[in-house]
């Protein structure tokens, strides 16, 4: 195939301009609520829920730590312009943020384009990264509300240990403890 024919078939690609910019985040809470409502129309997205193990992990670490993990994961796995393993970079189990990413359509750049109109091929803006993190954390908080657990502060290691077993006190008339008498 000649170079001129190939050039006409595949014109030089220009990076797509993102549909979302910082001005679209002025009504961020309303936009997040609207996107979460839109996701309820997808059986696949609605099938994702936090399991007890993930809820316990959130209890141990605290929501502040989970939000930090979320921001770091998005920065590493989703925000770069080029993601070598795009479409398979988000595990389907494990960390609560991974579960939330699948539930919110923020698991890969294709899903981000479909559900949130964030074009692939360009690095996230600060506003886009903030939006994705906020969306995921809003979903996690909604999931936690179904569990009705106090999750505001992380538990300390000492609080997680089992309390000592209470030994049954022998009563004067209790002979069940005396094996020889």
- Per residue in 51-109, pLDDT tens? 999 999 999 999 999 999 999 999 988 999 888 877 777 888 889 999 999 999 999 98
At 119-128, the pLDDT tens digits run: 888 999 999 9
Domain presence at residue 31: no
Tell me, letter by letter, the H, E, C secondary structure of 104-168. Answer: HCCCCHHHHHHHHCCCCCCCCCHHHHHHHHHHHHHHHHHHHHHHCCCCCCCCCHHHHCCCCCCCC
Name the domain count of the chain.
Answer: 1
The beta-strand segments (E) located in 4-91 are none
Query: pTM above 0.75?
Result: no
Of 41 and 21, which is predicted with more confidence? 41
Domain presence at residue 164: no
The domain of 78 spans 48-154
Quote the tokens at residue 39: 């996701």
**What pLDDT shows up at residue 64?**
93
**What pLDDT shows up at residue 123?**
92
Q: Does position 118 have pLDDT exceeding 50, yes or no?
A: yes
Q: Does position 134 have pLDDT exceeding 80, yes or no?
A: yes
Q: CA nearest 151: which of 59, 70, 56?
A: 59
Domain presence at residue 39: no
Domain presence at residue 83: yes
Domain presence at residue 73: yes
Residue 142 and residue 172 in contact, taking contact as beta carbons nearer than 8 Å: no
Instruction: Enumerate residues 6+ apart whose C-beta is below 8 A from 106.
Output: 74, 78, 100, 112, 115, 116, 132, 135, 136
Domain presence at residue 137: yes
Domain presence at residue 123: yes
* pLDDT classification of 149: cutoffs 50, 70, 90: low
Stretch 153-166: mean pLDDT: 43
Report the C-alpha gap between 33 and 90 in whole angstroms: 23
Quote the tokens at residue 94: 């494990």
**What pLDDT shows up at residue 150?**
56
Domain presence at residue 111: yes
Quote the tokens at residue 84: 């070598």
Report the C-alpha gap between 121 and 53 in whole angstroms: 35
Instruction: Enumerate residues 6+ apart whose C-beta is below 8 A from 143.
Output: 49, 50, 100
Q: Does position 152 have pLDDT exceeding 90, yes or no?
A: no
Report the C-alpha gap between 67 and 137 in whole angstroms: 7
Sign of CA dihedral 178, 179, 180, 181: positive
Helix-helix angle 126-147:28-39, to 10 degrees: 60
């Amino acid at each position: 195939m000649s170079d001129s024919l190939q050039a006409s078939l595949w014109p030089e690609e220009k990076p797509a301009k993102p549909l979302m910019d910082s001005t679209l985040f002025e009504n961020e809470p309303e936009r997040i609520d609207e996107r979460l409502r839109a996701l309820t129309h997808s059986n696949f997205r609605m099938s994702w829920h936090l399991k007890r193990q993930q809820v316990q992990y959130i209890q141990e670490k605290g929501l502040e730590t989970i939000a930090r993990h979320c921001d770091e994961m998005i920065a590493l796995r989703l925000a770069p312009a080029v993601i070598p393993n795009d479409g398979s970079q988000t595990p389907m189990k494990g960390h609560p943020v991974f579960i939330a990413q699948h539930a919110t359509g923020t698991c890969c750049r294709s899903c981000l384009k479909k559900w949130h109109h964030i074009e692939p091929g360009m690095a996230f803006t600060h506003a886009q990264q903030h939006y994705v993190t906020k969306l995921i954390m809003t979903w996690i908080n909604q999931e936690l509300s179904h569990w009705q657990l106090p999750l505001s502060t992380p538990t300390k290691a000492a609080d997680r240990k089992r309390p000592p077993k209470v030994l049954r006190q022998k009563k004067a008339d209790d002979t069940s403890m005396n094996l020889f008498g």
